[in-house]
Amino acid sequence: MSSLNASFSKNISIVRPEYFFIIGLSGIPYSNYYYIFLFIVYSITMIGNSVVLLIIALERNLHSPKYIGVFNLALADIGETNALIPNMMKTLLFDSRYISYNACLANMFFVFLFSSMQSFTLVVLAYDRFIAICLPLRYHAIVNNTSTVLVFSAVWAFNCSIVALMVSFITRLSFCESTVIQSYFCDHGPVHRLACNDNRINVIIGFLISALYIVAPLITIIISYMGIFLALTKITTWQGRLKALKTCVSHLLLVGIYFLPICSSYIAALLVSLTLNARVISTSLAYAIPPMLNPIIYVLNTAEIKYIIKKALKNRSAPIRENTSK
């Protein structure tokens, strides 16, 4: 009975603010130009990824395991961009810096969910390339549409559960002093550091999330490519090696674009004491730029998508030529 009363009193003592205040960029002249740049990035990201989604959905030849992965990556890119940039524009450009407690938790959930999906999708695409090059004769038996859909369904369910658990532990914190978030969105670290009660479990979860969605995927991808390069050494001709390696170029570019900015931001924060503005700019670029570049890379480096786009443009220009000739 006494333990029940202690638990009840503990729940009563939790202080949840009605609003948080997102500070974002502060004291920088002409910072509006940076938000205009982010709006341009947002527009390119939405158009590019929407085109990729539309092409893959409508073109039956692209209904394959590889492009199911590309479809999921484009979907995650759109989700993360919508969770970050519009809120950032509203919060900072229009000086609407207050966000309600529940909206803050929702923002945290969706940003981390879609970011984690990007990371895990790159792992699945690395697995696809590993099987295709190391076990080419068994590729269609191991990697097919059904197995790929099941894998991504499991990844979505797993990530939703983990991120929801992370966000749920924020509700155990009391915010009885400052409610100013030292970031440009409801980031997990800046939020739990505002707590005036024990937040050790949140610190641990923060480290585990970083390890699960940044360190572990990167190590897994590196190991998979070590296996791929080992398999390439067994190919007798340089032409065969280059042909196999060419199928990995798009994926390697995506991996570099996603992990290098994020890892650089983490390493810089550990080695150097970054100012708030420097951290906001570096992390916002690390989140915003990869979703913009991903569809461009796949359009420029994938023969199938380039062919479909060229074919669509030719079909559209043909009636125009006929009308002008008449």
Rounded Cα gap, residues 112 and 162, in angstroms: 10
Summarize pLDDT for 231-247 with one digit per residue, the tens. Answer: 888 887 888 888 888 88
Q: According to the CATH classification, is domain 16-311 in 1.20.1070.10? A: yes
Q: State yes or no: pLDDT of 324 exceeds 70.
A: no
The more confidently predicted of residues 137 and 90 is 137
Which whole-number Å values give the CA distances from 231 to 65, 224, 244, 288, in the listed order? 21, 11, 10, 35
Query: Which residue type sits at 311?
Result: K
The whole-number pLDDT of residue 326 equals: 53
The string over 156-191, giving b where at least 16 C-beta atoms fall within 10 Å of a residue's C-beta and e elsewhere, is beebeebbeebbebbebbbbeeebebbbbbbbbebb
Summarize pLDDT for 44-65 with one digit per residue, the tens. Answer: 999 999 988 998 888 888 888 9
Cβ-Cβ contacts under 8 Å for 75 (sequence gap 6 or more): 49, 53, 117
Rounded Cα gap, residues 212 and 196, in angstroms: 27
> In which band, very low, low, confident or very high, does the pLDDT at 8 lie, cut at 50, 70 and 90?
very low
Nearest to 37 by CA among 96, 93, 94: 93
The more confidently predicted of residues 163 and 243 is 163
Rounded Cα gap, residues 291 and 271, in angstroms: 27
The whole-number pLDDT of residue 255 equals: 93
Q: Could you tell me the residue ranges of all domains in the chain?
A: 16-311
Q: Which residues pair with 180 in a beta bridge?
A: 21
Instruction: Yes or no: say if 74 and 302 are a contact pair by the CB < 8 Å rule.
Output: no
Instruction: Yes or no: say if 22 and 100 are a contact pair by the CB < 8 Å rule.
Output: no
